[in-house]
Amino acid sequence: MTPFLDIDPDTGFGLENLPYGVFSTDKEPPRVGVRLGEFVVDLAVLESHGVVGVPGAGRQPVFDKGSLNAFMALGPDVWEAVRSHLQELLSTEGSPALRDAATLRQRAIVPLANVTMHLPARIGDYTDFYSSRQHATNVGTMFRGPENALMPNWLHLPVGYHGRASSVVVSGTDVVRPSGQQKPDDDAPPVFGPSKLLDIELELGFFVGPGNALGEPIPVEEASRHIFGFVLVNDWSARDIQKWEYVPLGPFLGKSFATSISPWVVPTAALAPFRVEGEPQGAEAGNPEPLPYLRQSEPRSLDVDLAVALETTAMREGGTAPEIVARSNATNLYWSPEQQLAHHTVNGCNARPGDLMASGTISGEEKGTYGSFLELTWRGSEPIDLPGGETRTFLQDGDRVVLSGEASRDGRRVGFGEVSGTIRPSRT
């Protein structure tokens, strides 16, 4: 189908994508829309005029709220019905209800440049996994040596920790340099102050849809029906704070100060053409066979290209474009989103609409595919060269990091947009 709006034919935001987001304008409060090219289609307006209906919602509006939670809770059959209707409604071949209604079209179609984006959901809980084998191997090699790089449990289950939902922020939000305890000298007492080893983590996250009741696990083969859609995630990390606090209970202040996500949620259905097998699991590949509750018959990986760009203050003031410092791909994840969700709930933990789950840092086998500065500079021993003679090991105040992503195959493109954040000085 061809959209009736005049959009770039090479956009990653065509009818095959239609990602959902929460936006506001100067005159209206936050509500739900979908992105089509460089426009936002206001679903709250279309719903109020009866042009878009939501099966199962009854008389209650779904899209006039400041979050996607109500829509996420309705499940995949409703998501697909609404998505199919929108694809038809916004196409040249589809319904004239919007195309030929000038007044409604003027209200419902807003230029992207005129909107402010917000968090797409009320995030009740946030879980971060550790699902890239190469990333886990790199970090383990640095701190334990190559012979003990992977912990004994890593190839048997998706390792994760419970993050801080209150500090998840939308793209464009500044990140204040965190302070905390550090122990730079093994033979001296800990010190307190701003983190000196501030880092990023290139991740792919997903939002939970209907979820499950307490005590009722989500089987891995049904997990995809509980995944509403995907976003880019930058799980900012203070490595010096993290190193000192990590033992024995894992991440805390080194992670909880900020996690940035992209504003547009790419529907799970839009990524179906980009499913690939990924890294094999099981004895034939020389890996342990996952326990039965983690065995997944459908292709586990998503072929999504990812990039990390860095812009320093000097580059910004000099008009130099951000420098791409890494390129990776979501196929570098060993554990799939479905396996992550199945494992998360196998003990009966209840996942709820709007819960966010992230993959952990995504790193490939080559240095240029590593998803963190910890790996790219190998603990700071190999600085990154930047335009103008600058170098970086970890982030400095004023640095802006931009993560981007796109799936592309056989002429079909599905964009994620970007997630960005600028480092501001510590307030301690």
How far apart CA 353 and CA 78 sit, in angstroms, is: 14
Task: Tell me whether residue 361 is annotated as binding.
Answer: yes
Q: Is 397 annotated as a binding residue?
A: no
3-state secondary structure of 169: strand
Give the integer Cα–Cα distance in Å for 202 and 285.
26
- 128 in a known ligand binding site: yes
One of 49, 85, 118, 135 is an active-site residue; which one?
135
Is 259 known as a binding-site position?
yes
- Known binding residue 216? Answer is no
CB 387 within 8 A of CB 323: yes
235 is in an annotated binding site: yes
Q: Collect all residues with Cβ–Cβ distance below 8 Å to 366 and sequence separation of at least 6.
A: none
Structure tokens at 405: 């992503």
Please check if 144 is assigned to a binding site: yes
Q: Is 133 annotated for ligand binding?
A: no
SS3 of 172, please?
coil
Residue 49 known to be catalytic: no
For 74-145, list the strands marked E by DSSP. 109-111, 116-118, 126-129
Q: Binding site annotation covers 320?
A: no
Token pair listed for 307: 């990039």
Q: How far apart are CA 124 and CA 105, in angstroms?
A: 35
State yes or no: 196 annotated in a binding site: no
Q: Is 296 annotated as a binding residue?
A: no
292 phi, psi to nearest 5 deg: -50, -35
Q: How far is CA 81 from the centre of its chain?
A: 24
In this structure, what are the phi and psi dihedrals at residue 97, rounded to the nearest 5 degrees? -55, -35
| Residue ranges of the binding site for substrate | 130, 144, 242, 246, 361
| Residue ranges of the binding site for Mg(2+) | 235, 255, 259
Catalytic residues: 135
| Residue ranges of the binding site | 128, 130, 144, 201, 203, 235, 242, 246, 255, 259, 361
